[in-house]
Structure 1
Amino acid sequence: MSSFAPEILHPNAGAPWSLNRRLMLFSGRANPALAGQIGAHIGLAPSRVKLKTFSSGEVYCRYEESIRGADVFLIQPMCRNDETGLSANDALLELMVMIDAAVGASAHRVIAVTPWYGYSRQDKKSAPREPISARMVARMLESAGVDRVLAMDLHAGQIQGMFQVPFDHMTAMMVLAEHFNQLAADHTATGVRPEDYVVVAPDAGRVKLAKKFADLLRADLAILDKERPAQQVAEIGAVIGDVQGKVALIVDDIIDTAGTLRAAAETVMNAGAGRVWAAATHAVLSGNAYENLQAAPLEEIVVTDTIPLAPGAPEKIRVVSCAGILGDTIQRIYQCDSVSEVFGGHNQVF
């Protein structure tokens, strides 16, 4: 990555002086593999940072080289990582101390690249005396001193309005759609033609996302009538649209316990779909998710690498990388170029 030296005036001396800007990547322990792929995409390896957890459970951070004057991009989704022993809350706190250390070390800008934004489903009050935890996380990041935040496929668009610093929203929709377009292009091997697809929205809240996905595939759209009688419990009543004999693609932003996805797949199959696949950006996959996915009538579940998979994942899960999108966005932010051009202006999926 080439650097440039803009000529600016020192406020005291009144003479031009040179500021060497640098782009530096650092990875937390939530998803170092993704950080490595982003670095490979832009030709810049993540720099060294010492991160550890004390026996008391407290998190420690120290940058092992100077970051003074640099644009520091901290790659840390707020997710658990079984290999590094981090919980979702650990990942959030580790991001906080990384931001604080970077601010204290005189970084020029500190940008949090958190593709999976934690607590994003707690974006409003659904019952009395509940917190709006997504807003609380936004305040925490701003209080630590972050200058900018990047996230991918937020669960709710209003989270962007909870920040007073610039917020860039990215989407993996194009990457996921390209995967299914490739399957249709190779129809002799997959048995799927473009006209076979029907995109299924798992609930009314995902209709706009599903419609955009269907447009990318030139496919029809169906909607499931879903209700939640309790947290992490889904009941699906009916299919609105024609799925008879079709290849149904259930599209969502998150797969958590996979209870909704399993119920959706069973409902679509009972409505006459020939085959059922699924796509989602964030593979949270907590609780009995693997058991639900294994039991569901799904041929393939396509997810991105925003969250690392825990060991023992079913073979039907396929991971596609979003490192290219993240890398291109990071470069554009550093160079003060348009971020929306990465997505052709289609990164607002709400």
Structure 2
Amino acid sequence: MKIFKPNIIYGDSNLKFFNSLLKIFNIKKNFLKIEKFKNSEYNIKFLKNFTNKTLFVLQNLSFPIHDNIFNLLLIINFLKKNLVRKLYLIIPYFSYSRQDKNFSENSPISIKLISDILDYLKVKKIITLDSHSNNFECYFNTPLKILKSTSLIVNDIVKNNIFVDIIISPDVGGIIRSKNLANYLNLELVIIDKRRPVINQIKIFCLIGNVKNKNCLIVDDIIDTANSIIEITNFLFFNEINNVVVYITHPIFSNNSYYKILNSKIKKLIITDSINFFHNFEKIKIITTKYIFIEEIKKIILEENEN
């Protein structure tokens, strides 16, 4: 069956990544113009009428997070009022996904507010990548598709002949992600039991498994301040590993924390392009996720054409 060219627009985040998606579909331009007034208010103009159309809106909720969230809400609100037929959101990195539980008695479950707003706006489906936990999707009534980067990681390991003995889950919450990768590669899984007494700080309690003289691979969804991954790396070397390679989906890198990686014992950090990273370092490599998003868009288009 013929794949029709989709209607796609994108917000003003992760522009390099979104442009690459449009090129693959041979879409020449973004039919959305976003400007800002001097006081930082958004002025959004649509350059095409999408009434009664199925539309894909691409927007990342990375830094500046609250600008990008509000930008997305303005776009969705306008489109819904102008009777777009079906609206699909593609959000490679979904901020607030870490806040899917109460951190204390007096703190909100912040992702619940985001989910409530998106549910109210009644989009057809939300597509994202590697959520922080399984609790994340429980807060949405809107259908949510969480794509996985596991196959990309496996392909990169095989393609580049990366020698690995064991897979490391950096915490108990990451066991499912790490176990899936370990199963793909038929490798042993080792778990680090760590807690966060305060935000952006960790305390390592124990290591479940043997790492001595092993070549380790850590897989995780987010790298933010890089404090956790550095402490875990140092802990592994204290337990006499050979080396460690790290795969991370979402490179937030707050306050240029990638410099900590460059000065660490990590042999190689492989990140995806879910968040734009503009630097070129030998120690940090980028793999693209665009093809798994393209396949998801094509799948939706086929389903639409069959109905």
Q: Residues 245 and 183 from structure 1, CA distance in 2 versus in 1: closer, same or farther, beyond 3 angstroms?
A: farther
Corresponding position: 1:37 with 2:20: yes
Larger Rg: 1
Aligned-partner residue type, residue 131 of structure 1 = P
The match for 1:298 is 266
Does structure 2 conserve the Cα–Cα contact (< 8 Å) formed by 1:290 and 1:314? no
Which of 251, 257, 260 is the matching residue for 1:283? 251
CA offset digits 1:57-80 (Å, max 9, x no partner): 111212101212221111111012
Corresponding position: 1:62 with 2:30: no
What are the equivalent positions in structure 2 for 1:237-256 lying under 5 Å apart?
237-256=205-224
TM-score normalised per structure 2: 0.92
Does structure 1 conserve the Cα–Cα contact (< 8 Å) formed by 2:122 and 2:142? no
Q: d(CA) in 2 for partners of 1:247 and 1:41?
A: 37
Cα offset, 1:45, TM superposition: 4.5
Cα offset, 1:226, TM superposition: 0.9
The match for 1:76 is 59
Aligned-partner residue type, residue 142 of structure 1 = D
Instruction: Name the count of aligned residue pairs.
Output: 304
Corresponding position: 1:210 with 2:210: no
Cα offset, 1:46, TM superposition: 5.1
The match for 1:110 is 87
Cα offset, 1:25, TM superposition: 0.9
Cα offset, 1:143, TM superposition: 2.7
Does structure 1 conserve the Cα–Cα contact (< 8 Å) formed by 2:3 and 2:298? no
The match for 1:124 is 101
Q: d(CA) in 2 for partners of 1:43 and 1:330?
A: 14
CA offset digits 1:192-251 (Å, max 9, x no partner): 54xx43110001111111011111222221111212111110122433212222221111
Does structure 1 conserve the Cα–Cα contact (< 8 Å) formed by 2:118 and 2:142? no
Q: Residues 324 and 45 from structure 1, CA distance in 2 versus in 1: closer, same or farther, beyond 3 angstroms?
A: farther
Which stretch of the first structure deviates more once superposed, 100-109 or 221-230?
A: 100-109
Q: d(CA) in 2 for partners of 1:280 and 1:113?
A: 20
Runs of 5+ consecutive residues of structure 1 not aligned to the other structure: 5-21, 81-86, 185-191, 338-350
Aligned-partner residue type, residue 270 of structure 2 = V
Aligned-partner residue type, residue 276 of structure 1 = V
Q: d(CA) in 1 for partners of 2:113 and 2:17?
A: 26
What are the equivalent positions in structure 2 for 1:54-203 lying under 5 Å apart?
54-80=37-63, 87-184=64-161, 192-193=162-163, 196-203=164-171
Q: Residues 145 and 57 from structure 1, CA distance in 2 versus in 1: closer, same or farther, beyond 3 angstroms?
A: farther
SS at match of 2:55: strand
Aligned-partner residue type, residue 42 of structure 2 = V
SS at match of 2:255: coil
The match for 1:7 is none
Cα offset, 1:159, TM superposition: 2.0
TM-score normalised per structure 1: 0.82
RMSD of aligned Cα (Å): 2.0
Cα offset, 1:146, TM superposition: 2.2
Aligned-partner residue type, residue 254 of structure 1 = I
Which stretch of the first structure deviates more once superposed, 67-76 or 38-47?
A: 38-47
SS at match of 1:233: coil
The match for 1:345 is none
Does structure 2 conserve the Cα–Cα contact (< 8 Å) formed by 1:119 and 1:134? yes
CA offset digits 1:171-203 (Å, max 9, x no partner): 11111221112222xxxxxxx54xx43110001
Q: Residues 42 and 219 from structure 1, CA distance in 2 versus in 1: closer, same or farther, beyond 3 angstroms?
A: farther
Does structure 1 conserve the Cα–Cα contact (< 8 Å) formed by 2:3 and 2:301? no
Does structure 1 conserve the Cα–Cα contact (< 8 Å) formed by 2:166 and 2:216? yes
Give aligned-pair identity as a percent: 23
Cα offset, 1:288, TM superposition: 5.1
The match for 1:258 is 226
What are the equivalent positions in structure 2 for 1:262-273 lying under 5 Å apart?
262-273=230-241
